[in-house]
Structure 1
Amino acid sequence: MLAAHRAYLLGWDVGSGAAGDLVTYRSEVPHASLNGVLRLSGRDPRDALAEARDRLDGLPRIWWAGPDSDAGTADALVSLGAVRVARMPIMAVAVEETATPPTPAGLRVEETTDLEEFVPAYARVSGVVPDGVAAVLEREKAFAADGTVVRLAGRLDDGRVAGTAVAWFSREVLTLYFVGTQPEHRRRGIGAAMTAAALDLARARGVRTAALTSTPAGESLYRRIGFRPVGAFELLSF
């Protein structure tokens, strides 16, 4: 699961951050979750922090301190001036053991390749500033990574995109990203329907495990479907 997560975010990288004991990715998008550090292994935290700041200079960024980094990484970084901003559970489920929520009336979920429509929809609910949407679109068009990405749009009867999800297939795992619902359509079960559609894709492909990182607001939704915490990332600003 951790390798699949790294592979997806490295698909946004415009540099060469994948190699070595400090794995970074730089997308040039002015959005913290799309630039950052993915893993630190066998490296002095002080030196690693200085190099990470140099590699990612000029961009908002985050450090994912998780189970694939050296023990004590988050505490060491905080002692050097990094700031904890969130704790995100890593959640997983056996695909065949998931509950199937009902699809809201008037919603259909389908694969989309229309990035000009899809990117602004998920950017709106993912904290991407309006001036950053063009950069996100450029990177989505150039996305290349070790896996397969399927973009899902939840459409209303009038064709508007009310929900989004990115299904990432890598390392025999489905990992979910950008699961979101437009604010005016929330609390109708659209997020659950987007997640269920991605799980259906996994079943069709014979993929047995699904994973995601959840915000506190989304954790209860994923628990209802069957996901359970198996670890966590400490997210830090630096």
Structure 2
Amino acid sequence: MASLDTVLAAHRAYLLGWNIGAAAHPDLPTYRSDVPHATLNGVLRVAGPAPSEALAEARRRLHGVPRIWWVGPDSDGGTADGLVSLGATEVARMPIMTVALDDAEAPTPAGLHISETDDLDAFVAAYARVSGIPAEGIAATVEREKAFSGDGTVIRLAGRLSDGRIVGTAVAWLSHGLVTLYFVGTQPEQRRQGVGAAMTRAALDLARERGAHTAALTSSPSGEGIYRRLGFRPVGEFRLLTF
């Protein structure tokens, strides 16, 4: 199983692949996509700068876009509380979860076909609807997906019905010897049919074929039960703040 430090490094590497802003500094790595969606612009850690200094610099770099601050085990102790005392707002706590790739099983629902896709227009439109990216931000998201450049490999999986509609999505990020999952989602009309679990399982199978041994993700409260049934277990936590 990969160490928590490795999991966090892979997570940073993925989000930095969205960055079109200034080069990231290891003490305060930020990423700016200019997509109007908070999780695609933000701060990844603080190591060294005082919260007040870090907050001022982050606001300067990310001015004009919605943004999120990921405060996790790789940030200095007391960072989240320090930022809250300066006016930041905690909006969520998300477990960091991992699983060995030979531990999970999930059936594929009848009529669902899962495969890699390069149809970014349809793929982004599908995950945008689930993730809360506004319609006016889809074109920018497609462009950033096309220009994505990170220390790893992105695999985009689409789950389609027989009529070609995308009802499930998953992004598998292969980096640092493991796979990290993003944009795992199911269209509202198809929920509670096992699509999300099948998309996750397909991503894990593909990653194992490509040499990964550990999978990681951060989970929303609604998804945690699904991931636990697939064998994922918490190894840490992010506190997400707006600022």
2:21 pairs, out of 15, 24, 46, with 15
2:39 pairs, out of 18, 33, 36, with 33
Q: Does 1:227 align with 2:232?
A: yes
2:207 pairs, out of 189, 202, 206, with 202
2:55 alignment partner in structure 1: 49
Measured in 2, the distance between the counterparts of 1:214 and 1:232 equals: 10
1:65 alignment partner in structure 2: 71
Q: Does 1:116 align with 2:121?
A: yes
Measured in 1, the distance between the counterparts of 2:215 and 2:195 equals: 19
Q: Deviations over 1:91-138 (max 9, x none)?
A: 00111122x111000001000011011110110100001111111011
- Report the more deviating stretch, 61-70 or 16-25: 16-25
1:156 alignment partner in structure 2: 161
Measured in 2, the distance between the counterparts of 1:81 and 1:116 equals: 38
1:218 alignment partner in structure 2: 223
Kindly provide the amino acid, as one letter, of the partner of residue 109 in structure 1: I
Is the partner of 1:232 in helix, strand or coil?
A: strand
2:89 alignment partner in structure 1: 83
1:176 alignment partner in structure 2: 181
Q: How far is the alpha carbon of 1:89 from its aligned partner?
A: 0.3
Is the partner of 2:54 in helix, strand or coil?
A: helix
Q: How far is the alpha carbon of 1:17 from its aligned partner?
A: 4.0
Q: Which runs of 4+ in 1 moved over 4 A?
A: none
Kindly provide the amino acid, as one letter, of the partner of residue 89 in structure 1: P
Kindly provide the amino acid, as one letter, of the partner of residue 77 in structure 1: L
TM-score using structure 2 length = 0.96
Measured in 1, the distance between the counterparts of 2:66 and 2:144 equals: 16
2:110 alignment partner in structure 1: 105
Kindly provide the amino acid, as one letter, of the partner of residue 70 in structure 1: D
Kindly provide the amino acid, as one letter, of the partner of residue 242 in structure 2: S
Between the two proteins, the alignment pairs up a number of residues equal to: 237
Unaligned segments of structure 2, at least 5 residues: 1-6
- Report the more deviating stretch, 225-234 or 12-21: 12-21
Kindly provide the amino acid, as one letter, of the partner of residue 45 in structure 1: P
Unaligned segments of structure 1, at least 5 residues: none
2:9 alignment partner in structure 1: 3
Kindly provide the amino acid, as one letter, of the partner of residue 175 in structure 2: S
Q: Deviations over 1:32-73 (max 9, x none)?
A: 000000010011110110010010000100000000110111
TM-score using structure 1 length = 0.98
Measured in 2, the distance between the counterparts of 1:47 and 1:102 equals: 49
Q: How far is the alpha carbon of 1:20 from its aligned partner?
A: 3.5
Kindly provide the amino acid, as one letter, of the partner of residue 239 in structure 2: E
Measured in 1, the distance between the counterparts of 2:218 and 2:23 equals: 22
Q: Does 1:166 align with 2:185?
A: no
Measured in 1, the distance between the counterparts of 2:23 and 2:184 equals: 26
